[in-house]
Protein backbone atom coordinates (compact mmCIF):
# COMPACT_ATOMS: atom_id res chain seq x y z
CA UNK A 1 0.00 0.00 0.00
CA UNK A 2 1.37 3.41 -0.91
CA UNK A 3 2.15 5.89 1.84
CA UNK A 4 -0.26 8.42 0.31
CA UNK A 5 -3.15 5.92 0.34
CA UNK A 6 -2.30 4.91 3.90
CA UNK A 7 -2.34 8.57 5.01
CA UNK A 8 -5.75 9.06 3.35
CA UNK A 9 -7.13 6.04 5.17
CA UNK A 10 -5.85 7.33 8.51
CA UNK A 11 -7.38 10.76 7.85
CA UNK A 12 -10.76 9.10 7.25
CA UNK A 13 -10.60 7.57 10.72
CA UNK A 14 -9.95 10.89 12.47
CA UNK A 15 -13.02 12.95 13.34
CA UNK A 16 -13.22 16.48 14.76
CA UNK A 17 -15.95 18.07 16.85
CA UNK A 18 -16.88 21.71 17.36
CA UNK A 19 -18.95 22.52 20.47
CA UNK A 20 -20.55 25.92 19.86
CA UNK A 21 -21.93 27.98 22.76
CA UNK A 22 -24.25 30.95 22.28
CA UNK A 23 -25.68 33.54 24.62
CA UNK A 24 -28.16 36.34 24.17
CA UNK A 25 -27.48 39.74 25.74
CA UNK A 26 -29.91 42.63 25.12
CA UNK A 27 -31.42 40.82 22.10
CA UNK A 28 -27.92 40.37 20.63
CA UNK A 29 -26.88 36.78 19.91
CA UNK A 30 -23.21 36.10 20.68
CA UNK A 31 -20.95 33.12 20.04
CA UNK A 32 -18.15 31.98 22.33
CA UNK A 33 -14.69 32.32 20.78
CA UNK A 34 -11.15 32.47 22.08
CA UNK A 35 -7.82 34.03 21.21
CA UNK A 36 -5.22 31.33 20.63
CA UNK A 37 -1.79 32.76 21.53
CA UNK A 38 -0.22 31.33 18.37
CA UNK A 39 -3.05 30.96 15.87
CA UNK A 40 -5.59 33.81 16.04
CA UNK A 41 -9.23 33.80 17.07
CA UNK A 42 -10.90 30.40 17.02
CA UNK A 43 -13.93 28.42 18.13
CA UNK A 44 -13.40 25.38 20.35
CA UNK A 45 -12.58 22.30 18.23
CA UNK A 46 -10.96 18.98 19.00
CA UNK A 47 -10.31 15.40 18.04
CA UNK A 48 -12.65 12.54 18.79
CA UNK A 49 -10.88 9.82 20.77
CA UNK A 50 -10.96 6.15 19.75
CA UNK A 51 -14.52 4.73 20.13
CA UNK A 52 -15.79 7.98 21.68
CA UNK A 53 -19.27 9.21 20.79
CA UNK A 54 -19.31 12.54 18.95
CA UNK A 55 -21.55 14.21 21.56
CA UNK A 56 -19.27 13.11 24.40
CA UNK A 57 -16.21 14.34 22.50
CA UNK A 58 -17.84 17.75 21.99
CA UNK A 59 -18.52 18.15 25.72
CA UNK A 60 -15.06 16.87 26.67
CA UNK A 61 -13.34 19.27 24.26
CA UNK A 62 -15.46 22.15 25.54
CA UNK A 63 -14.33 21.36 29.07
CA UNK A 64 -10.67 20.79 28.18
CA UNK A 65 -10.30 23.96 26.13
CA UNK A 66 -12.59 26.38 28.00
CA UNK A 67 -13.13 24.96 31.49
CA UNK A 68 -16.92 24.83 30.99
CA UNK A 69 -17.95 21.80 33.06
CA UNK A 70 -21.74 21.70 33.23
CA UNK A 71 -22.67 21.63 29.54
CA UNK A 72 -24.98 19.55 27.42
CA UNK A 73 -25.46 19.09 23.70
CA UNK A 74 -28.52 20.96 22.47
CA UNK A 75 -28.46 20.10 18.76
CA UNK A 76 -26.34 18.96 15.84
CA UNK A 77 -25.77 21.67 13.21
CA UNK A 78 -24.10 19.40 10.69
CA UNK A 79 -20.79 18.45 9.19
CA UNK A 80 -18.48 21.27 8.10
CA UNK A 81 -15.91 20.47 5.42
CA UNK A 82 -12.96 22.84 5.90
CA UNK A 83 -11.01 24.09 2.88
CA UNK A 84 -7.79 22.64 4.29
CA UNK A 85 -7.22 18.93 3.67
CA UNK A 86 -8.09 16.81 6.67
CA UNK A 87 -11.04 15.50 8.62
CA UNK A 88 -14.53 16.99 8.52
CA UNK A 89 -15.78 18.86 11.59
CA UNK A 90 -19.01 17.83 13.37
CA UNK A 91 -20.64 20.97 14.76
CA UNK A 92 -22.83 20.84 17.88
CA UNK A 93 -24.73 23.60 19.67
CA UNK A 94 -24.05 23.22 23.38
CA UNK A 95 -25.50 25.02 26.37
CA UNK A 96 -24.87 25.34 30.07
CA UNK A 97 -27.13 26.50 32.90
CA UNK A 98 -24.12 28.22 34.45
CA UNK A 99 -23.66 31.96 34.02
CA UNK A 100 -20.52 32.47 31.97
CA UNK A 101 -18.33 35.54 32.35
CA UNK A 102 -17.92 38.11 29.61
CA UNK A 103 -14.23 37.15 29.36
CA UNK A 104 -11.97 34.59 31.00
CA UNK A 105 -8.67 32.81 30.50
CA UNK A 106 -8.24 29.05 30.62
CA UNK A 107 -5.02 27.06 30.69
CA UNK A 108 -5.36 24.23 28.20
CA UNK A 109 -2.98 21.34 28.66
CA UNK A 110 -3.24 20.37 24.99
CA UNK A 111 -0.77 21.95 22.58
CA UNK A 112 1.98 21.76 25.21
CA UNK A 113 0.01 23.96 27.60
CA UNK A 114 -1.35 27.26 26.36
CA UNK A 115 -3.64 29.87 27.87
CA UNK A 116 -6.72 30.63 25.79
CA UNK A 117 -8.51 33.97 26.28
CA UNK A 118 -12.28 33.53 25.87
CA UNK A 119 -14.77 36.23 24.93
CA UNK A 120 -18.10 36.65 23.13
CA UNK A 121 -18.36 37.71 19.48
CA UNK A 122 -21.58 39.19 18.12
CA UNK A 123 -23.22 36.68 15.78
CA UNK A 124 -24.17 39.53 13.44
CA UNK A 125 -20.63 40.92 13.19
CA UNK A 126 -18.21 39.54 10.61
CA UNK A 127 -15.00 37.97 11.84
CA UNK A 128 -12.04 40.33 12.07
CA UNK A 129 -8.66 39.88 10.40
CA UNK A 130 -7.44 38.37 13.66
CA UNK A 131 -9.58 35.27 13.07
CA UNK A 132 -7.82 32.18 11.77
CA UNK A 133 -8.95 31.53 8.17
CA UNK A 134 -10.39 28.06 8.90
CA UNK A 135 -12.49 29.51 11.73
CA UNK A 136 -13.77 32.33 9.52
CA UNK A 137 -15.06 29.56 7.24
CA UNK A 138 -16.50 27.69 10.22
CA UNK A 139 -18.26 30.83 11.47
CA UNK A 140 -19.94 31.27 8.06
CA UNK A 141 -21.01 27.61 8.12
CA UNK A 142 -22.50 28.03 11.61
CA UNK A 143 -24.33 31.20 10.55
CA UNK A 144 -25.81 29.43 7.51
CA UNK A 145 -27.00 26.46 9.54
CA UNK A 146 -28.14 28.24 12.69
CA UNK A 147 -30.59 30.43 10.76
CA UNK A 148 -32.52 27.29 9.91
CA UNK A 149 -33.15 26.44 13.58
Domains defined along the chain, listed by start: 3-146 (3.90.79.10)
Q: How far is it, in rounded angstroms, from Cα 76 to Cα 58?
A: 11
Categorize the per-residue pLDDT at 10 as very low, low, confident or very high, splitting at 50, 70 and 90.
very low
Q: How far is it, in rounded angstroms, from Cα 28 to Cα 86?
A: 34
Q: How far is it, in rounded angstroms, from Cα 35 to Cα 115?
A: 9
Contact 93, 18 (CB under 8 A): no
Categorize the per-residue pLDDT at 112 as very low, low, confident or very high, splitting at 50, 70 and 90.
confident
Q: List strand residue ranges (DSSP E) for 28-132, in order.
A: 28-36, 40-42, 46-47, 72-80, 89-95, 103-108, 114-122
pTM: 0.89
pLDDT confidence of residue 109: 87
Q: What is the dihedral of CA 46, 106, 111, 18, to 10 degrees?
A: 10
Question: How confident is the model over 72-105, as pLDDT tens digits?
Answer: 999 999 999 999 989 999 999 999 999 999 999 9
Question: How confident is the model over 12-49, as pLDDT tens digits?
Answer: 578 999 999 999 999 999 999 999 999 999 999 999 99
Amino acid sequence: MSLNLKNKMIMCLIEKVVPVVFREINNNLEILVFRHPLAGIQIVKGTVEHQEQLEHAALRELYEESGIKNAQVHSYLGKHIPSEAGPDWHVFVCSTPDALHDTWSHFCEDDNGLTFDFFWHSFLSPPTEEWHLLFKELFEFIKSKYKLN
